[in-house]
Amino acid sequence: MALSPAQFRAQGHGKTAPWVDLVNSEEWDTYGRRRDWLDDPSWLGFFLEQWRFAVSGGRPFPARKFRALRSALRMASEAISAESEIPPEAFEAINNALNLTGRYQVLRLENALRLEFVPSIEGWDWVLAQTALSFARLLAGSDSTRIKICLNPDCRWIFYDTTKARIRRWCSDKVCGNRDRVRRARARRAG
């Protein structure tokens, strides 16, 4: 049984951010077949639970909006990974997702002061806005050069490299890294 990207990550492959899970919800296996996890209700439930997103009401899942944001996030991630400029259409789609909820920011005092993104209404648009916000915060406040694409050409997973030396090459050393090592060893024996 194939694991969803969120389940794969939950098995110890690193909790990252909602945007990474959304981008990787479109998955290619090592045989070039594509799977869209947005079509699987169990993936969606896991995603909502993992990131503590609440969706109230009986509104149907807006798959088209999620696919549009996923496409924009992948486009932006691929550009960053290739050290190119993010295409304007990706910026526009991300900003559109950020503005879906009539959002505003407030300053809250809990243990310390923090700025919080607060929705005017919760629901699927709020989930989209929060997912886009997780990417926007990364671009604005972190080192976006750590966004990488797995070197396995059949994988295409996007990940955030947290290694000190920024040397991570695969989404998972145990899966894609191991496959690469096995391929190279077989090629040496054959050659």
The answer on pLDDT for 165 being more than 50 is yes
Give the CATH H-level superfamily of domain 5-190.
Jann2411-like domain (1.10.3300.10)
Q: What count of other Cβ atoms lies within 10 Å of the Cβ of residue 14?
A: 13
Query: 125-148, pLDDT tens digit by residue?
Result: 889 988 998 998 888 877 788 899
Phi, psi of 101 (to 5 degrees): -105, 5
Q: What count of other Cβ atoms lies within 10 Å of the Cβ of residue 127?
A: 28
Structure tokens at 184: 């190279």
Q: Which residues are CB-neighbours of 63 under 8 A, at least 6 positions away?
A: 38, 39
The answer on pLDDT for 37 being more than 80 is yes
Average pLDDT, rounded, for the chain? 82
Query: Helices marked H in the chain — which ranges?
Result: 5-8, 18-23, 41-50, 63-81, 88-98, 124-141, 178-190
Q: How confident is the model at residue 70 (pLDDT cuts 50, 70, 90)?
A: very high
Global pTM exceeds 0.85: no
Q: Which of 161 and 116 is assigned the larger pLDDT?
A: 161
Phi, psi of 66 (to 5 degrees): -65, -40
DSSP annotation of 140 reads H
The pLDDT, as a whole number, for residue 11 is 43
The answer on pLDDT for 3 being more than 70 is no
The pLDDT, as a whole number, for residue 12 is 40
Average pLDDT over residues 65-80: 96
Q: Domain extents for the chain?
A: 5-190
- Return d(Cα 17, Cα 51) in angstroms, integer: 8
Query: 86-113, pLDDT tens digit by residue?
Result: 999 998 999 888 887 765 555 565 666 6
Q: Which of 180 and 7 is assigned the larger pLDDT?
A: 180
